[in-house]
Chain A
Amino acid sequence: KQEVTQIPAALSVPEGENLVLNCSFTDSAIYNLQWFRQDPGKGLTSLLLIQSSQREQTSGRLNASLDKSSGRSTLYIAASQPGDSATYLCAVGPPNYGGATNKLIFGTGTLLAVQP
């Protein structure tokens, strides 16, 4: 059974620091991997999607990498800002055996606090 782990559960950094959030998964056979941001009491906002054939994706100050063989993904945030404070969730899509689905298996997230 696929399991997704995010360590650390919480992280506090000073403004301007570059940081890396980690996501690991137990089964390397994945369809895709998606990073989300969740603000308190809100829904999930999609940040980056990496398909299984890709190694990384970039959007602005964010860069996500995928290494299926080691079961790891990292989300790199450059020049962090207080507005980046949120919970970051990693989700893995299992392979579509016998049919097309887009199920996601989520980690429990990393709570990021960027101090001004």
Chain B
Amino acid sequence: NAGVTQTPKFQVLKTGQSMTLQCAQDMNHEYMSWYRQDPGMGLRLIHYSVGAGITDQGEVPNGYNVSRSTTEDFPLRLLSAAPSQTSVYFCASSYWDRGTYNEQFFGPGTRLTVL
């Protein structure tokens, strides 16, 4: 298994541009989520999904959209990039087993800079 994969690894955008961060997992996990990591603030949840067709907001959803058309993919869209969205973005997945969620597996991250 490749686990959780993310593309691109690095990206530089100009203010106002839009882009999509890709996330895929090949473990058939129901649960997927996006976090951003900023110095001194730890990781914060942006959006999450408990299954195909179902998404919900996390702690810091403004400026981001998600969709979940398949179990494998969970793209994160930046609608109009702002310098405050400069961060490292991580995608994670987890599976449901016997009535409980298990450990979350993280991708390698996308380092985004907005100028």
Contact = CB atoms under 8 A, between A and B. Distances in A.
Given A43-B106, A44-B106, A102 B101 contact: yes
A101 B48 contact: yes
Given A42-B108, A93-B101, A103 B33 contact: yes
B90 A43 contact: yes
Given A102-B94, A106-B42, A46 B103 contact: yes
A31 interface: yes
Given A43-B109, A44-B90, A106-B42, A100 B50 contact: yes
A43 B107 contact: yes
A34 B104 contact: yes
Interface residues of A, number: 26
Given A93-B101, A107-B42, A102 B31 contact: yes
A56 B108 CA distance: 28
Interface string A39-61: 00011111001010000000000
B42 A109 contact: yes
A51 B103 contact: no
13 contacts: A43-B4, A43-B107, A46-B104, A91-B43, A93-B101, A101-B48, A101-B50, A101-B56, A102-B33, A102-B48, A103-B48, A106-B35, A108-B40
